[in-house]
């Protein structure tokens, strides 16, 4: 009997130990499940502003995405590849596109959803949305793609979206990768139309990443579609870069740490919104809003806003704006929130003001202005005003150089040099399709802080 | 000759109706082809109509639902709900709230609105500034059936009918609770297809209270189109296409693989709906290679061609056979007459000399000797002739048997020259014999070879009787012994050189030919040699004269 009691005692002790260990373990796991939150920083171009009259200030709202947690299952991906198989793709391009599609497929996990739509004159779903498990049969299907026909780009994207929609309700990262090398000649073909399609798709949390191959495609259309749907855009000159681009893009998609990101900037009284630089947003009374579909791990995305600050006295301190970021955490599937507040101090000491300069804000501001200048140059060149376009680029380069040397910033100086070379090339040989695409893509990537290039 | 003509006439009688029938058949077929083309266009047009009806019904349902949702919005939170809607609904491009005689409530004019909103305000400025009322197109939307006009199919009418019935009670029902203040509380709504910068935009509006705000949405046409084109049916045919075209004639979507030039005109057009004015579905058919149905014509033409070829070649064959039969019959007749003639000549001589000898009036023994030798030689000639006819009969029936015995060819030739030397020399022809040194052993039918040599010698005596010599050459090549019998007679015309080996053939085939003959000799000789694994050729001699070469298989001694 005594023996049995002792036994009971021992079991209860071991039970307790197990329980404690279990609690510790779950606690540990829970600490891992909770990834670090998205950080929102609000900075001005100068930490200390000159006191006196009302003035314009550049606000940089930075979203620092946390790294993707290594030991938690990443959110699942719902990927649709929309591939151009028109006649112009024949040869190396279609071969590389197939290789790129297979590259993308092999990077997906068994639970991810994968579909392939090809388009020429008509649109065909060759791999309907399915789990990326049956890799060999999907690869066989992809290998059978043959090039020929026109370019029904709109129909292709529509069909891709329809494949995505089959799993729209589930908690996936939705993404279409559109590949094209030519002008859309069946279906809507205006950049504005495709932009509207992108704007409609982002409402369903579908982003379209566009990959242009060669120099024959319409970069305006492709960048507009990507921009309006918050996807990425790429320009590759030859097919050989395609597998790399697809891999990079998928690296982004598999690394999403925040979904449905909404940034609301609430300005304090008397602070007035002047302009949004680079990004599309809306100003509503004292609020400025931005929307981003996805943020990738370790990515830094920002928005630049120019505001007007009222009269001030030296030594005073005011709150300029409060920034609220709401987003969906794809790991916990919960809505999360992050806040940043910007204050301004004023001083009449100009040296103090100068020393407080935030070079990062200045740099991004200048680079964004440069992106806008690049777009303007494209516009001017489209109207046949080559000289004005070159002048626009050179002015922008001079400004970058000036600011860069004032703050001794190497990045700005380097960008200025590159831009000058580009301007000279355009001056000598005119705006070639290639340089137009380079300008358009660079300006897009700058404005949207595209991670992989 | 008459029968030959009658055969040709018969053939012509046969051919002419065939050609007439095939001509008619071809015409019928091409009519049939046209009919098939027409019915293909008809079928495609019907498909296009079905599609356009589906689009119409879909767009209409979308618009009705949106209208209903707009009407259901809580009026106190109108702006908030509308904005949330704009943010989340892919079908909503812009929203607006407008109060008559007041500034546009949303979106706000000026810098506070986005670029898109500013464009939106500019687009509908005549509405938002009050220059036009929202219900300006009300008559238009109510009187749908009239606008669609004559081209409307019965099905479309049915759909239109069902729409009217559907709508009527709704408005009655809505109006009913507010009878007292009908003017204040009547719900108004409408959809406006709006053309701005040559592009279609669609605005939906509602007014819930008589003097209340007009609010609504601008439809995201690209989102709508994107959803519509996904359900566009696929056409597997390569030579046809259905194209959804917008008001400017741009191709919005294509089903069917045909490559359509943007300038090409459709063969038929179906307008979609007054909800999407000027939008059409164009039917395109590649007339050059309308393969699937043109195939019918091709196959029919091929069949017809085979039919005609069969008839014509059948006719040719029959005619040839008939002509051949006629020729054979003529040759047989000529054969019988010449054989009879051949038989009769020696018989006459034999009989005459035999009767002379029988009368015993001939006392001269020399003469008697001569007559007897004539009888003997004539009987020999008769025997040879009969042997030939017998051989011919056997060869023809395939009953000829050969007895193979080994012997030496040179010996046989010498014996035969010896035996016939008197006959030959009597005609004043010199015998030249060239037998090369060597071994001429053969194992073959001796009698048959004798008959061949005899026929060749007879041939030379008969046709080269004016010649000076007859030459026998015996030589060898690798596996054959070559026996040549040549003369320096007139030779054989080139055109006849192959035909001489045909049975019954004679170079001059008339009965009046001075030379008698059956026309069998060479034919038999060649047939025998072929049966014994050899052959017989003709070689013209240089200058004139002919030379026959018999090839006899050499037999190595074992």
DSSP B266-307: PSEEEEEETTEEEEEEEEEE-STT-HHHHHHHHHHHHHHHHH
Contacts of A152 (CB under 8 A, 6+ apart): A119, A120, A121, A122, A123, A184, A186, A187, B253, B254
DSSP state of A134: -
Contacts of A197 in chain B (CB under 8 A): 222-223, 226
Q: How far is B191 from chain A (nearest CA, A)?
A: 20
Of A41, A35, A47, give the one whose Cα is nearest residue A302.
Answer: A41
Q: Percentage of residues in chain B with pLDDT exceeding 70?
A: 85
- Predicted structure pTM score: 0.67
Q: Which two tokens stand for residue B153?
A: 């199919």
* Surface of A (363-382) touching B: CB under 8 A: none
Helix axes of A386-406 and A410-429: crossing angle, nearest 10 degrees: 160
d(CA B384, CA B44): 87
What are the backbone dihedrals phi and psi of residue A319, each rounded to the nearest 5 degrees, phi first? -90, 125
In angstroms, what separates the C-alpha of A207 from chain B's closest C-alpha? Answer: 13
In whole angstroms, give the CA distance from residue B132 to residue B123: 13
Average of pLDDT values for A416-431?
A: 89
Instruction: Tell me the three-class secondary structure of B453-516, residue by residue.
Output: HHHHHHHHHHHCCCCCEEEEEEEECCCEEEEEEEECCCCCCHHHCCHHHCCCCCCCCCCCCCCC
Nearest-by-CA chain A residue for B88: A203
Alpha-carbon Rg for chain B, nearest whole angstrom, is 54
**Mean pLDDT, residues B217-233:** 89
Nearest CB neighbour to B220, from listed A159, A200, A291:
A200
Distance (Å, rounded) from C-alpha B42 to C-alpha B109?
A: 52
Q: In chain A, where are the structural domains located? A: 37-70+257-355, 76-254, 359-447
Nearest by CB to A196, from B222, B227, B258: name it. B222
Q: Does A203 reach chain B within 8 Å, measured CB to CB?
A: yes
Q: A199: nearest CA in chain B?
A: B90
**pLDDT tens readout for residues B40-56:** 889 889 989 999 998 99
Distance from CA of A33 to the nearest CA of B (A): 29
CA–CA separation, A352 and A53 (whole Å): 18
A158: β partners: none
pLDDT band at B515 (very low <50, low <70, confident <90, very high): low
Chain A closest-CA separation from residue B154 CA (Å): 30
Rounded CA-CA distance A124/A288 in Å is 42
Q: Average pLDDT, stretch A371-400? A: 91
Q: How confident is the model at residue B182 (pLDDT cuts 50, 70, 90)?
A: very low
Q: Do A122 and B254 touch (CB under 8 A)?
A: yes
Report which of B232, B199, B192, B198 is spatially closest to residue B58, judged by C-alpha positions.
B232
**Dihedral sign, CA of B161, B164, B170, B176?**
negative
Q: Which of B220, B253, B262 sits opposite A155 (nearest CB)?
A: B253
pLDDT above 90 (res A209): yes
Q: Given CB atoms, is A121 within the 8 Å cutoff of chain B?
A: yes
Distances (CA, A) of A271 to A266, A290, A307, A357: 10, 18, 7, 21
pLDDT (0 to 100) of residue A125? 92
At the second CATH level, the architecture of A37-70+257-355 is: Sandwich (2.60)
The alpha carbon of residue A98 is apart from the nearest alpha carbon of chain B, in Å, by 22
User: Which residues in chain A touch residue B251, judged by CB atoms under 8 angstroms apart?
Assistant: 185-187
Per-residue pLDDT band at B185 (split at 50, 70, 90): low
CB distance from A165 to chain B under 8 Å? Answer: no
Given a cut of 50, is residue A30 above it in pLDDT?
A: no
Residue A265's pLDDT band (cuts 50, 70, 90): very high
Q: Do A185 and B251 touch (CB under 8 A)?
A: yes
Which residue does chain B place closest to A202, by CA atoms? B90
Query: How confident is the model at residue B514, as a pLDDT?
Result: 57
Evaluate if residue B177 carries a pLDDT over 80: no
**CB-CB under 8 Å, B223 with A200:** yes
Which of the four pLDDT bands, split at 50, 70 and 90, describes residue B407?
A: confident
**What is the arithmetic mean of pLDDT over A270-289?**
84
Whether A75 contacts A329, CB under 8 Å: no
Please report the pLDDT score of residue A176 as a whole number. 95
A vs B, Cβ pairs < 8 A, gives 90
Structure token pair of residue A34 = 């909770």
* Residue B426 scores a pLDDT above 90: no
User: Mean pLDDT highest for which of A14-28, A188-202, B238-252?
Assistant: A188-202
d(CA A47, CA B36): 82
Cβ-contact A335, A258 below 8 angstroms: no
Q: Using an 8 Å CB-CB cutoff, list chain B residues near A162.
A: 227, 230
**A197–B253 C-beta distance less than 8 A:** no
Mean pLDDT rounded to a whole number for chain B: 80
* Distance (Å, whole) CA B279 – CA B87: 28
Angle at B286 between CA B280 and CA B287, to 5 degrees: 120
Note whether A283 contacts B: Cβ–Cβ < 8 A: yes
| Residue A45 structure tokens | 């171009």
Top-confidence residue, A42 or A1: A42
Confidence of residue B290 (pLDDT cuts 50, 70, 90): low
- Residue A390: which residues within 8 A CB-CB, separation 6 or more? A377, A423, A426, A427
* Per-residue pLDDT, B349: 83
- Per-residue pLDDT for B141 more than 50? no
> pLDDT tens-digit profile of B441-500?
888 888 888 888 888 888 888 777 778 888 888 888 878 888 888 888 877 777 777 777
pLDDT at residue number A90: 86
Fold classified for B401-553: Heat Shock Protein 90 (3.30.565)
- Tell me which of A131-135, A222-226, B393-397, B430-434 is least confident: B393-397
Separation CA A247–CA A243 (nearest Å): 6
Residue ranges, CATH 3.30.565.10, chain B: 401-553
Give the residue from B93, B225, B241 with the most A CB atoms within 10 Å of its CB, the best one to mutate: B225
Mean pLDDT of B307-328: 86
Q: Residue B315 region, left (φ>0) first, then alpha (ψ -120 to 50), else beta?
A: alpha
Looking at the partner chain, which of B222, B256, B257 has a beta carbon nearest the beta carbon of A188? B222
Query: For residues B552 and B481, is the Cβ–Cβ distance under 8 A?
Result: yes
Question: For the sheet containing B199-207, what is the strand order?
Answer: B92-98, B214-219, B199-207, B188-196
Q: What is the DSSP string of A237-297?
A: SSGGGHHHHHHHHHHHHTTEEEEEEEEEEEEPTT-EEEEEESS-EEEETTEEEEEEEEEET
SS3 A319: strand
Mean pLDDT of A180-184: 85
More confident residue, B214 or B112: B214
Q: Which residues of chain A are within 8 Å of residue B90 when distances are taken between CB atoms? A: 200-201, 203-204
Q: For residue A295, how many other CB atoms are within 10 A of its CB?
A: 27
Report the gap between the CA of B225 and the closest CA in chain A (Å).
9
Backbone angles phi, psi at B466, to 5 degrees: -90, -5
- Exposure of A197 by Cβ count < 10 A (0-12 exposed, 13-18 middle, 19+ buried)? buried
Residue A17 has pLDDT above 70, yes or no: no
Model confidence at B138, pLDDT cuts 50, 70, 90, reads: low
How far is the alpha carbon of B223 from chain A, nearest alpha carbon, in Å?
6
What residue in A sits closest to B252 (Cα-Cα)?
A187
Q: How confident is the model over B320-328, as a mean pLDDT?
A: 87
Mean pLDDT, chain A, rounded, equals 85
Question: Best mutation site among A148, A281, A282, A293 for testing chain B: the one with the most B CBs within 10 Å?
Answer: A282
pLDDT-derived band at A333, boundaries 50, 70, 90:
confident
pLDDT (0 to 100) of residue A351? 87
Q: What is the pLDDT of residue A113?
A: 93
What token pair was written down for B382?
């008769």
Q: Which residues pair with A48 in a beta bridge?
A: A345
| pLDDT above 90: residue A161 | yes
Q: Which of B223, B224, B240, B257 to mutate to test the interface with A (most CBs of A within 10 A)?
A: B223
| Rounded Cα distance, B406 and B449, in Å | 12
Min CA distance, B27 vs chain A (Å)?
36
d(CA A264, CA A366): 23
Scan for tokens 């370790």, then name that residue: A298
Please identify which residue in the block is written with the tokens 């090339």.
A425
Using CA atoms, how far residue A155 sits from A172, B207, B231, B308, in Å, is: 23, 36, 11, 51
**pLDDT tens-digit readout, A114-126:** 999 999 888 999 9
What per-residue string of b and e applies to A202-215 under the rule 16 or more CB within 10 Å gives b?
Answer: bbbbbbbbbbbbbe
pLDDT of residue B509: 52
Cβ distance A122 to B256 less than 8 Å, yes or no, reads yes
Question: How many whole angstroms separate alpha carbon B255 and alpha carbon B291?
Answer: 17
Phi, psi dihedrals of residue A230, rounded to the nearest 5°: 60, 40
Could you say which of B87, B226, B250 has the minimum Cβ distance to residue A158?
A: B226
Is the Cβ of A188 closer than 8 Å to some Cβ of chain B? Answer: yes
* Distance in Å, alpha carbon of A194 to nearest chain B alpha carbon: 8
ipTM confidence: 0.79
Instruction: Indicate the CATH number for domain A76-254.
Output: 3.40.50.410
Strands A55-64 and A39-44, sheet pairing: antiparallel
> Residue A369: is its pLDDT beyond 50?
yes
The per-residue pLDDT for B319 is 84
Q: In which band, very low, low, confident or very high, does the pLDDT at B311 lie, cut at 50, 70 and 90?
A: confident
Compare CB distances from A186 to B223, B230, B251 and report the shortest one's residue: B251
Chain B residues whose C-beta is within 8 A of a chain A C-beta are: 87-91, 93, 111-115, 117, 220-223, 225-227, 229-230, 234, 241, 250-259, 262
**Interface probe, candidates A82, A85, A158, chain B, greatest B C-beta count within 10 A:** A158
């Amino acid at each position: 009997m005594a023996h049995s009691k002792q036994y009971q005692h021992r079991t209860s002790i071991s039970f307790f130990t197990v329980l404690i260990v279990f609690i510790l373990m779950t606690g540990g796991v829970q600490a891992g499940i909770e990834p670090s939150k998205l950080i929102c920083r609000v900075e001005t171009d100068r930490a200390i502003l000159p006191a006196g009259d009302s003035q314009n200030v550049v606000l940089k709202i930075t979203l620092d995405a946390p790294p993707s947690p290594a030991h938690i299952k990443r959110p699942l991906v719902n990927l649709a590849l929309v591939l151009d198989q028109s006649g112009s793709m024949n040869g190396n391009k279609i071969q590389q596109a197939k290789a790129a599609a297979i590259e993308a497929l092999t990077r997906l996990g068994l639970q991810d959803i994968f579909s392939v739509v090809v388009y020429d004159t008509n649109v065909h779903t060759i791999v309907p949305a399915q789990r990326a498990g049956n890799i060999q049969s999907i690869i066989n299907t992809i290998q059978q793609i043959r090039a020929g026909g026109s370019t029904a780009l709109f129909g292709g994207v529509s069909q891709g979206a329809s494949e995505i929609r089959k799993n729209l309700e589930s908690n996936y990262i939705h993404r279409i990768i559109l590949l094209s090398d030519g002008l859309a000649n069946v279906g809507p073909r205006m950049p504005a139309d495709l932009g509207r399609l992108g704007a409609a798709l982002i409402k369903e949390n579908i982003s379209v990443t566009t990959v242009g191959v060669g120099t024959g495609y319409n970069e305006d259309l492709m960048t507009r579609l990507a921009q309006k749907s918050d996807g990425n855009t790429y320009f590759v000159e030859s097919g050989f870069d395609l597998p790399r681009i697809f891999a990079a893009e998928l690296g982004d998609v598999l690394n999403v740490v925040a979904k449905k990101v909404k940034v609301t900037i609430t300005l304090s009284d008397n602070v007035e919104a002047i302009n949004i630089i680079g990004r599309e947003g809306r100003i509503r009374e004292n609020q400025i809003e931005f929307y981003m579909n996805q943020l990738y791990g370790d990515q830094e995305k920002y928005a630049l806003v120019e505001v007007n600050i009222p009269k001030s006295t030296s030594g005073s301190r005011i709150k300029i704006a409060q920034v609220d970021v709401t987003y969906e955490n794809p790991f916990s599937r919960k809505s999360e929130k992050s806040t940043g507040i910007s204050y301004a101090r004023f001083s009449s000491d100009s040296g103090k003001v100068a020393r407080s300069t935030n070079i990062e804000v200045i740099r991004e501001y200048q680079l964004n202005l440069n992106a806008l200048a690049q777009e303007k140059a494209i516009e001017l060149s489209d109207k046949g005003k080559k000289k004005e376009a070159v002048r626009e680029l050179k002015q922008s380069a001079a400004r970058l150089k000036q600011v860069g040397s004032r703050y001794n910033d190497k990045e700005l100086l380097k960008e200025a040099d590159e831009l000058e070379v580009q301007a000279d090339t355009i001056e000598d040989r005119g705006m070639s399709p290639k340089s137009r695409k380079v300008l358009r893509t660079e300006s897009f990537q700058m404005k949207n802080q595209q991670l992989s290039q | 000759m008459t029968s030959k003509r009658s055969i040709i006439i018969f053939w012509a009688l046969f051919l002419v109706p065939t050609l007439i029938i095939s001509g008619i058949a071809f015409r019928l077929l091409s009519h049939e082809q046209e009919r098939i083309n027409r019915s293909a266009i008809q079928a495609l047009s019907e498909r296009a109509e079905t599609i356009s009806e589906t689009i119409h019904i879909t767009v209409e349902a979308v618009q009705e639902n949106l209208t209903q949702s707009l009407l259901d919005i809580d009026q106190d939170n109108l702006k908030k709900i509308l904005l949330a809607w704009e943010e989340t609904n892919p079908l909503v491009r812009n929203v607006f709230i407008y109060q008559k005689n007041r500034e546009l409530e949303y979106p706000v004019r000026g810098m506070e609105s986005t670029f898109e909103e500013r464009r939106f305000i500019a687009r509908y400025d005549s509405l938002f500034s009050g220059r036009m009322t929202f219900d300006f197109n009300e008559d238009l939307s109510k009187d749908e059936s009239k606008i669609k006009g004559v081209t409307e199919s019965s099905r479309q009418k049915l759909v239109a009918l069902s729409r009217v019935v559907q709508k009527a009670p709704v408005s009655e029902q809505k109006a009913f609770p507010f009878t007292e203040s009908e003017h204040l509380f009547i719900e108004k709504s409408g959809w406006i297809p709006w053309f701005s910068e040559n592009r279609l935009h669609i605005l939906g509006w509602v007014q819930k209270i008589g003097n209340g705000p007009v609010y609504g949405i601008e439809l995201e046409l690209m989102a709508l189109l994107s959803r519509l084109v996904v359900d566009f049916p696929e056409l597997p045919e390569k030579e046809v296409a259905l194209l959804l075209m917008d008001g400017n004639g741009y191709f919005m979507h294509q089903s069917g693989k045909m490559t359509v030039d943007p300038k090409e005109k459709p063969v038929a057009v179906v307008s979609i709906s007054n909800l999407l004015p000027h939008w059409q579905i164009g039917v395109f058919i590649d007339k050059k290679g309308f393969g699937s149905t043109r195939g019918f014509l091709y196959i029919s033409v091929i069949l017809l061609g085979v039919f005609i070829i069969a008839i014509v070649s059948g006719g040719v064959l029959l005619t040839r056979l008939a002509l051949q039969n006629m020729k054979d019959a003529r040759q047989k007749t000529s054969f019988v007459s010449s054989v009879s003639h051949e038989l009769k000549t020696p018989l006459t001589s034999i009989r005459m000399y035999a009767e002379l000898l029988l009368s015993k009036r001939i006392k001269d023994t020399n003469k008697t000797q001569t007559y007897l030798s004539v009888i003997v030689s004539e009987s020999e000639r008769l025997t040879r002739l009969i042997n030939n006819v017998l051989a011919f009969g056997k060869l023809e029936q395939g009953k000829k048997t050969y007895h193979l015995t080994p012997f030496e060819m040179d010996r046989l030739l010498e014996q035969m020259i010896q035996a016939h030397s008197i006959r030959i020399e009597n005609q004043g022809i010199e015998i030249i014999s060239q037998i090369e040194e060597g071994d001429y052993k053969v194992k073959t039918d001796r009698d048959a070879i004798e008959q061949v040599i005899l026929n060749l010698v007879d041939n030379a005596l008969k046709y080269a009787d004016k010649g000076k010599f007859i030459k026998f050459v015996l030589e060898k090549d690798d596996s054959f012994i070559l026996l040549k019998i040549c003369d320096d007679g007139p030779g054989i015309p080139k055109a006849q050189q192959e035909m001489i080996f045909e049975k019954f053939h004679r170079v001059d085939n008339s009965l009046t030919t001075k030379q008698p003959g059956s026309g069998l000799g060479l034919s038999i000789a060649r047939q025998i040699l072929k049966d014994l694994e050899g052959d017989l050729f003709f070689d013209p001699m240089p200058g004139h004269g002919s030379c026959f070469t018999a090839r006899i298989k050499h037999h190595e001694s074992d």
